Amino acid sequence: MISMSERFDVVVAGGGTAGAYASYLLAKAGFKVALLESKSGEQIGVKTCGDGLGLHHVERMAKYLTPNPRVFQNKIEGVELISPDEKTRLIIKGEGYVLDRFAWGKWLVEEAVRAGAALFEGHTATEPIVENGAVVGVKAVERRSGMAKEFRSRVVVDATGSAAVLRSKLAGWLISEPLHPEDVSHAYREIVYVDEALESPQYIKIYLNMTVAPGGYWWIFPRSATMLNVGLGIWGILKQNPRNYYEKYILPRFRVSKKYHIGGGFIPTRRPLKSLVGNGIVALGDAAAAVNPIHGGGIGQALLTAELSSRVIAKAFEKGDFSEKTLWEYNVLYMREWGHRQAQLDVLRLMLQTLDNDDLNFGLSRKILNEDEIYHLAAKGTNLSLMDKFKVMMQFLGRPALLKKLSISIQYAKEIGDLYLAYPESQSDLDKWHAEVVKKYNEFREKIGLGPLPLA
Ligand SMILES: Cc1cc2nc3c(=O)[nH]c(=O)nc-3n(C[C@H](O)[C@H](O)[C@H](O)COP(=O)(O)OP(=O)(O)OC[C@H]3O[C@@H](n4cnc5c(N)ncnc54)[C@H](O)[C@@H]3O)c2cc1C
């Protein structure tokens, strides 16, 4: 039974990084915003995460909202990348933070409310309300009372995280593209206090090891020398429980005195969705699969998608038109800013997932890619000059099959990234464009020994 129906300009479902920041930006721009968050009270802002965030994301955000210093727990100078045999440690410079994630989450929701958004805590969005082919609101349940409610609006924002509760219910719409198990990572992490101080806590540590974290990696992200965020991600297609791997391989390495928080989750690690918009709806953050597919970091992309979509939503209000056609600009902005790099990194992700520990030991110890090149690849995308380097290396380094695989991947990453840069300005050209993407992916996958692209 519906006992309440309220009208807003925008209803945002999910008060994580993406939803809270979008609510802040939209409320600050003068729109009447409802922010629906399943969690309530002290649980608001709690999120299972590695808590690492690059400085460039913080700097971009600071143009609109100055971060409260209390959200930063540890200043980071770079990444220590460690080979499976732990004999090679590459230091990749790059500034960032390990966040006090719960303080971060709470602070963002507080800012949204201060800017004027109406927070409905303990409210779970259950499905979009669709009328005449457009989303016009959200059905929700107030958890405490069990009361069903309707929130009506001109635009609905799906920021419900990797479950993508709203967009996934729009069967037959472009935006409802499901995630294939190949395109997710199953992650588990604990925040623990340890007896023995960690060396160089100003570096986050990424351990590549296909036995400990098959198709992924395990990490130590220090909040301090003795308070560590330790976890791992495993390729979804392997259907393994990451907690079992954590307990078997990782936990025994530490003398844990106390556990602060434990939890798991799944992370979309894939190329961009075909479309992040529909009539009256946009998807952000993990709900839009906007994560960096190589390392699974998505806080920065949650911020970015909130920023880009709120800009396009404001334009839609100027026009008084909330159709897919008007909201399409968000797709275009996204692909030009980040989607094409996400696609490049996804190609490299697939290649990495075909490697074994011997390949990784060899590659890291011989510095097939040096620290600067790894930084460049991760931060800026592929660099075709690397192909020439691989060709030269093939002649004297051995492992020609591995080097060939790398060289093919760099080439396809560039080509597929370029295709995403040419993402169509209008929906009518999408099918043709997408057929080209699938063709390129399938060529690449065949060359590195993977089956055709699973179109879930
Ligand atoms: C173990 C792990 C480690 C990670 N490590 C890192 C890292 O170190 N760095 C990094 O950048 N990223 C990391 N990520 C990814 C990162 O956490 C996400 O990309 C990011 O939090 C996405 O933000 P979001 O707002 O889209 O989603 P979320 O933070 O998941 O927020 C979604 C919100 O929606 C709410 N919600 C869900 N369903 C409903 C509903 N039906 N109705 C109302 N509310 C709802 C949830 O309670 C939640 O508050 C990690 C993820 C995991 C799982």
User: What is the predicted pLDDT for the residue at 305?
Assistant: 98
- Residue 83 CA to ligand 1 centre (angstroms): 28
The CB-based long-range contact list for 196-202 (8 Å cut-off, 24+ gap) reads 196/226, 196/254, 196/255, 197/225, 197/226, 198/222, 198/225, 198/226, 198/228, 200/80, 201/74, 201/225, 202/74, 202/75, 202/76, 202/77, 202/78
- CB-based contact 352:294 (threshold 8 Å): yes
- CB-based contact 155:322 (threshold 8 Å): yes
Please name the residue whose Cα sits nearest to atom 31 of ligand 1. 16
Q: Is the dihedral of CA 85, 292, 91, 351 positive or negative?
A: positive
CB atoms within 10 A of CB 161: 25
CATH of domain 73-99+181-268: 3.30.9.10
Three-class DSSP category at 247 = helix
- CB-based contact 129:152 (threshold 8 Å): yes
Residues 6+ apart with CB under 8 A from 114: none
Q: Token pair 């609905």 is at which residue?
A: 156
Please name the residue whose Cα sits nearest to atom 18 of ligand 1. 298
Q: Which two tokens stand for residue 107?
A: 């602070």
Q: Which residues of the chain register pLDDT less than 50?
A: 1-2
- CB-based contact 233:244 (threshold 8 Å): no
Substitution candidate for ligand 1 out of 35, 160, 168, 276 with most atoms within 8 A of CB: 160
Domain spans, the chain: 2-51+102-179+270-322, 73-99+181-268, 342-447
CATH topology of domain 2-51+102-179+270-322: FAD/NAD(P)-binding domain (3.50.50)
User: What is the predicted pLDDT for the residue at 250?
Assistant: 98
User: What is the predicted pLDDT for the residue at 1?
Assistant: 45
Q: Please give the Cα distance from 99 to 139 (Å, whole number).
A: 33
End-to-end CA distance of the chain: 35
Cα-only R_g, the chain:
22
Residues within 6 Å of ligand 1 by CB: 13-19, 36-39, 47-53, 124-125, 159-161, 163, 165, 187, 189, 231, 265, 267, 285-287, 291, 296-300, 302
| 73-99+181-268 matches 2-51+102-179+270-322 in CATH topology | no
Give the ranges where 53-158 is alpha helix by DSSP (H): 55-61, 101-114
- Residue 440 CA to ligand 1 centre (angstroms): 31
